[in-house]
Structure 1
Amino acid sequence: MITVVSLLLLVGVLGFAVARPRGLPEAVAAVPAAVIVVVFGLVSWRDAVDELVELGPTVGFLAAVLLLSYLADEAGVFKYAGAVAARWSRGSPQRLLGIVFVIASVVTAALSLDATVVLLTPVVFATASTLGVRPKPHVYACNHLANSASLLLPVSNLTNLLALSAAGLSFVSFAGLMALPWLAVIGVEYLILRRFFAQDLGTPEHSAQVEQERAPKFALVVLGLTLAGFAVAGPVGVHPAWVALAGAIALGVRMKKPVTTLVRKANLGFCLFVLALGVVVLAVSRSGFGTLVDRVAPHHADLLGLLAMAGLAAVLANVLNNLPATLMLLPLAAHSPGLVLAVLLGANIGPNLTYVGSLATLLWRRILHGRGQPPVTGEFLRLGALTVPACLIVGVASLWVSLRVSGL
């Protein structure tokens, strides 16, 4: 009964987050569900408080990064990136795809997958329109790279932040271990998308007049210093959330944004949703379903163990969404940094298989519907079926090499 109730609550919370009836925030369903979990004894109030305390710094960082991404967009960073892509592509769909891959990978790694989905995707649409090329390959690249290119840094994805403390790694060590998988996965994504969308990319080049955009130098410098701050914050005992907040404050003060606007753009409602979701997932983890997952989860970080853990994470991401999947699997993998990173491979690459794999994919789908160019479900699934298994295999193999080289 406990298993049934906890799973129903989780499904209800995720279903509400997907549908968002009347535009209501995700927390409207998540907070009552978390209260029910505690009131009915599925999770003790003490354990619920411990979970919230553990998630607190990570959620604080999420708020700061969301604010930083918004201010970077307001400063013209993404508009400038679009102008650079249009100019360097010289009207070639193939060159534009390569440039979009580079920009989307960097944006995802530095500013998180939400920035790529929410802020870069519309810019890519506009760039394709300016050049007169078909937008589909480039827009799909934004979605796939928002997930799979979020492997590099702890700040690239909320799942990474959750895993950083579980793995016991520093910011630099995390990035060093994930650099090779990141590059390998992006390379596989590019080769498959280039082949999959060959017809769309085979259209003739179009020469177009592209307006010269001034580089937002102050914003770019602040972003660069913020990234450098992430690298040095850990060794001196400063949580990355404070570094991200400092970068956001620097941009906010320079742009003279009202405090009320800054608070709104930090999306505190979504942060509350993540906290409440953590309590609900804790109940699922302690139910019979959690016991089943524990039994099938590998406990050794050899090549087969890494592949099994990544595959399990990918399956759970497409069944439960990648955030609950990560919260459920991290305690089972915490004894091994390699297994923790394998969880991230599955949780970050796996969502490219179905719409429900990550909230970012659902948001990307909503953006395309809003522009009157909804993705074709069959096409989305076929592309996911090609990329996800290939990227998981290459990513796991690359991670195994990185772990062997580092001695972990």
Structure 2
Amino acid sequence: MPGRRIGQRAAVFTIIALVLLGAVLAFAVARPRGLPEAVAAVPAALICVAGGLVTPRDALHEVRELLPTVLFLAAVLVLAHLAEEHGVFAWAGTAVARFGRGRPQRLLTAVFAAAAVTTAVLSLDATVVLLTPVVLTVAARAGVRARPHVYACTHLANSASLLLPVSNLTNLLAFAASGLSFAGFAALMAVPWIAVVAVEYVIFRFFFAKDLDGRASLPEPPGPAPKYALVVLALTLAAFAALQPLGVEPAWVAAAGAVALAVPLWPKLRVRTLVTEANPMFCAFVLGLGVVVLAVRANGLGDRIDALVPRHADLVGLLLVAGLAAVLANLLNNLPATLVLLPAAAHSPGLVLAVLIGVNVGPNLTYVGSLATLLWRRILHARDAAPRTGEFLLLGLATVPLCLIAAVVTLWAGLRLSGAS
């Protein structure tokens, strides 16, 4: 009888936790009156603690575990903003237009390269928030249809974030769980990253063939490159790899890069602007969401998820894990999907990376798959360039399955060659 009561209590707690998670995600998608996501996530986390769904000690431990990742997110958002202030994205836009030479196909190639590199180095948020408006402007000035190029921004913001631990918030979580070094992570994900970008590019060329016909206006020559900012970004990226084995958190490296970019701009910078760019409310959302997801896992759902995750990182196991992660990303959003799955996969670096493939590539299937995609959609709506839902879904169906397979097969080959599993 006591055991039955405990089981009923766990079932009730699971339902409550799932309702809270659903409410938080629905609020994040809708953002009524433009309110930040934390308005729902933080109270939901407090309800989980006050209601006994998680203990205060476990909640505090989860926040401490997530805090380095969240601090990095804040630092890299400031880093990307300062890079924009130095003219990095404006210069990239003119360079992209120049490479296009009046031909939409070449322009798409240049946008793919710019989006893939921006995502890998400055994270997917920089691609969505800073590069997408630049690409829209470049397409308008060139007199070409913007659709292929702006779709490339959101697809590569998700799928091209596979390369480095610092490319995505999900990557940082997976990196912490994998036990790999910065260089080891990048080495294993380099070929899957190339494979995904290549598959996306080929499909885009066919899918948007009519939009890529014709000629475009020749652009003006690009201005001088912002050399100081580019050097600082390159040194920051090198420092991520060099200092991680020494135990230096990526947040400190990103913060140092931001300080270096801020120094020449200091007379016209405002501290309030930098704080706003760090997006503390979104950081609070991530921490609150982590506690809510912990409540979901701790009250029974975690055991069910664990039972679905294979124990071995063979090809079939990797495909199953990546597929499961992609499905959960589109049902729950990729961040909570990562938090739910990583504990079940943490015994194998290969399975952790397969989870990452699923939660990074999978969100290209629906708008709700990632917060970055939702933000991209919001940006286009604000510029009267709203995407077509049917077209978005068809493009996702065309790209996501093939990209998942290409990434997982190349990851499996890399794991076999490296001896990691």
TM-score higher than 0.5: yes
Separation in 2, partners of 1:288, 1:54: 21
What is the alpha-carbon distance in structure 2 between the residues aligned to residue 276 and residue 106 of structure 1?
31
Indicate whether 1:401 and 2:413 are aligned. Answer: yes
Structure 1 segment 175-194 matched on structure 2, within 5 A: 175-194=186-205
Name the structure 1 match of 2:360.
348
- 1:315 aligned residue (327, 333, 337): 327
Q: Say whether residues 1:331 and 2:343 are aligned partners.
A: yes
Contact 1:128/1:134 (CA < 8 Å) preserved in 2? yes
- Alignment partner of 2:293: what SS? helix
Offset at residue 209 of structure 1 (A)? 4.1
What is the CA-CA distance between 1:206 and the residue it aligns to? Answer: 2.3
How many pairs are equivalent? 407
Partner of 2:301 in structure 1? Answer: 289
Cα drift, residue 386 of structure 1: 0.9
- Is 1:298 paired with 2:315? no
Given candidates 65, 73, 76, the residue that maps to 1:62 is 73
Question: Cα distance, 1:19 vs. partner?
Answer: 1.3
Q: Unpaired runs of 5+ in structure 2?
A: 1-11
Moved over 6 A (4+): none
Counterpart of 1:271 (choices 283, 307, 313) is 283
CA shift digits 1:283-314 (9 cap, x unpaired): 11123333322221111101000000000000
Aligned equivalent of 1:133, options 141, 144, 147: 144
Question: Which of 170, 189, 214 pairs up with 1:159?
Answer: 170
Find the counterpart in structure 2 of residue 222 from structure 1. 232
| 1:110 matched residue in structure 2 | 121
Take 1:287 and 1:201, find their aligned partners in 2: how far apart are those partners?
Answer: 52
CA distance in 2, matches of 1:297, 1:316: 13
CA deviations on 1:375-408 (whole Å, 9 max, x unpaired) are 1111111110110100000100000011011111
Residue type at the aligned position of 1:60? L
**In 1, Cα distance between equivalents of 2:167 and 2:237:** 11
Q: Secondary structure at the match of 1:91?
A: coil
Q: What's 1:246 paired with? A: 256
Q: Contact conserved, 1:67 with 1:266, CA < 8 A, in 2?
A: yes
- Which residue pairs with 2:103 in the alignment? 92
Shift of 1:207: 3.0
SS of structure 2 residue aligned to 1:134: coil
* 171-180 vs 230-239, which moves further: 230-239
Question: CA, structure 1 residues 338+209, in 2 after alignment: closer, same or farther (shift >3 Å)?
Answer: closer
What letter is aligned with 2:241?
A: A
| 2:383 aligned with 1:371 | yes
CA, structure 1 residues 93+209, in 2 after alignment: closer, same or farther (shift >3 Å)?
closer
Distance 1:23 1:237 in 2: 39
- CA offsets, 1:52-88, max 9 Å, x none? 0100111110100010011111111010000001111
Task: Give 2:71's aligned amino acid.
Answer: G
CA RMSD, 1 decimal: 0.9
Letter in 2 for 1:22: R
| Cα contact 2:165–2:172 (8 A) shared by 1 | yes
Quote the Cα distance in structure 1 between the aligned partners of 2:351 and 2:216: 47
Structure 1, 323-332 or 254-263: larger mean CA deviation: 254-263
Deviations 1:191-222 (A, max 9, x none): 011100001011x1123342532211111011
TM-aligned CA deviation for residue 368 of structure 1: 1.1
* Matching residue's letter, 1:235: P
Aligned-pair CA distance for 1:265: 1.0
SS in 1 for 2:166: helix
Counterpart-to-counterpart distance in 2, 1:207 and 1:37:
57
Q: Residues of 1 paired with 2:405 and 2:219: CA distance?
A: 42
Which of 236, 241, 249 matches 1:231? 241
Alignment equivalent of 2:51, drawn from 24, 40, 47 = 40
The answer to whether the 8 A contact 1:67-1:262 is kept is yes
| TM-score after normalising by structure 1 | 0.98
Looking at structure 1, the residues matched to 162 and 42 of structure 2 have their Cα atoms a distance apart, in angstroms, of 29
Contact 1:66 1:266 in 2 (8 A): yes
> Which residue does 1:205 correspond to in 2?
215
- Quote the Cα distance in structure 1 between the aligned partners of 2:108 and 2:384: 22
Q: Deviation digits for residues 1-58 of structure 1, max 9, x if unmatched? A: 2121111101111111111111111111100000000000111110000000100111
2 CA distance for matches of 1:206 and 1:403? 44
> What letter matches 1:252 in structure 2?
A
In structure 1, C-alpha distance between the alignment counterparts of 2:102 and 2:418, rounded to whole Å: 43
Q: CA deviation at 1:177?
A: 0.3
Whole-Å separation in 1 of the counterparts to 2:149 and 2:240: 30
Q: Percent identity?
A: 67
- Give the secondary-structure state (helix, strand or coil) at the position aligned to 1:210: coil
**Aligned equivalents of 2:276, 2:330: Cα separation in 1:** 30
- 8 Å CA contact retained: 1:130, 1:208: no
